[in-house]
Structures are given as structure tokens and as C-alpha cells.
């Protein structure tokens, strides 16, 4: 896996994107392997006091004794599959970040989505680094400044790597909006360091 470029897409500070971090064949093989072998779940979260099933499937993989949750939901921890542990070790060496957890999301089609949010849970620390790998269908990713509402759009390609670090979570929100006509699935791997 190559190091992401500084910032070729005019993204805000704290975001860097590399379109081809993984080869097309490796991306495809990994997509199908994960789709078939991970223990996919669809938990409920609380939003404004009401319980909702999330509009995607997910799997949380982490080291022993690592716990993580969001929006009132505590995630069930799965052990590291060898292929993802190897990827974690490469990213840890390249970025000098001790990744100990991975949230994997499966967006079954364009109806599955992720609303505006920041990955700013206290377990992630003040300036978390999140390495996000995309596999499968291309999806639009939106970034919005919390105070100015300035927005940036990015198309996440299969095999790409988006790094979010610095004050990216303090200053910005991001989302993966619905794309009504999209019929193909996407898997997103977000490597994290949880304290």
C-alpha cells in the first residue's frame, strides 16, 4: 500500500486522498472475501431519543479489551481476520499510528448511507487519525466545515485511501449521501486507534 499524496484534490486541511492505494484486482478480491466472510450486523442507534436501525451493515474488529460505540450503541467486537490484520500492520508502519480497531461498513446499494457526523468520540482522542479504504462501487463523500458550512465533494474510488487527521474531526463533518440510482455495493474500512 502506497503513502497517500499530500492533497491533490483541494481538500481541506486534515484530509488527504490517494485514488489507487490498492490494485484493481486486490480491491475486487478483498471486497468479495469480506462480503462473504465477515459477521455483518445491523444495530440500532438512538437519534434524538428515538431508536433507528442503521441504513447499512457493519462489523467491528478490534484487539482484545477494546470497546467502542456511538449514538448509544455499543459495538460487538470481532477478532482480526488475517488479511485485515496484515493491512492494519502495513498502515501502522506507514502512518506511525497504532491502529487497534477497524469499523467496516457495507453499503448494499445507493439507498444505504451515512448522515453528517464527526468521528470525535472521546475514545479516539483529541486529534484522531482515521485511515479509510474504499472497495466496490464508487460513492460520493461530502465534507462540511462546522462553522462556515463550506463543502467539498470527493468521489471515493475502489482501492482508494482517504486519511483524516489533525483537526479534521474537530472542524468538519462528513457524510456518504444516498445515491438513488446506484445498484452496486461498497465496503468501507475505517482503521482507528482507540484509547
22 found inside a domain: yes
3 found inside a domain: no
CB atoms within 10 A of CB 49: 6
Rounded to two decimals, the pTM is: 0.91
Identify the pLDDT of residue 142: 98
- CATH number for the domain that contains residue 58: 2.60.120.590
9 found inside a domain: no
Pairing of strands 151-156, 73-74: unpaired
10 found inside a domain: no
Q: For residue 108, give its domain range.
A: 15-192
How many domains does the chain fold into?
A: 1
7 found inside a domain: no
Instruction: State the distance between the two ends of the chain, measured CA to CA, in whole angstroms.
Output: 25
* Residue pair 134/188 in contact by the 8 Å Cβ criterion: yes
* Residue pair 97/103 in contact by the 8 Å Cβ criterion: no
pLDDT digits (tens, 9 = 90+) for 110-137: 999 999 999 999 999 999 999 999 999 9
pLDDT digits (tens, 9 = 90+) for 13-51: 999 999 999 999 999 999 999 999 999 999 887 777 888
168 found inside a domain: yes
Amino acid at each position: 500500500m502506497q503513502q497517500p499524496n499530500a492533497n491533490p484534490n483541494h481538500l481541506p486541511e486534515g484530509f488527504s486522498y490517494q485514488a489507487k492505494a490498492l490494485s484493481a484486482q486486490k480491491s475486487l478480491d478483498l471486497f468479495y472475501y469480506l462480503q462473504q466472510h465477515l459477521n455483518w450486523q445491523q444495530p440500532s442507534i438512538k437519534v434524538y431519543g428515538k431508536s433507528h436501525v442503521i441504513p447499512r451493515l457493519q462489523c467491528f474488529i478490534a484487539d482484545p479489551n477494546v470497546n467502542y460505540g456511538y449514538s448509544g450503541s455499543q459495538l460487538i467486537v470481532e477478532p482480526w481476520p488475517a488479511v485485515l490484520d496484515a493491512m492494519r500492520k502495513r498502515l501502522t508502519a506507514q502512518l506511525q499510528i497504532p491502529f487497534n480497531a477497524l469499523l467496516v461498513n457495507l453499503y448494499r446499494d445507493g439507498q444505504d448511507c451515512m448522515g453528517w457526523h464527526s468521528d470525535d468520540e472521546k475514545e479516539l482522542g483529541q486529534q484522531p487519525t482515521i485511515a479509510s479504504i474504499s472497495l466496490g462501487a464508487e460513492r460520493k463523500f461530502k465534507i462540511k466545515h462546522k462553522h462556515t458550512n463550506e463543502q467539498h465533494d470527493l468521489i471515493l474510488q475502489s482501492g482508494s485511501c482517504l486519511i483524516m487527521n489533525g483537526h479534521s474531526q474537530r472542524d468538519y463533518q462528513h457524510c456518504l449521501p444516498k445515491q438513488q440510482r446506484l445498484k452496486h455495493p461498497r465496503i468501507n474500512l475505517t482503521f482507528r486507534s482507540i484509547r
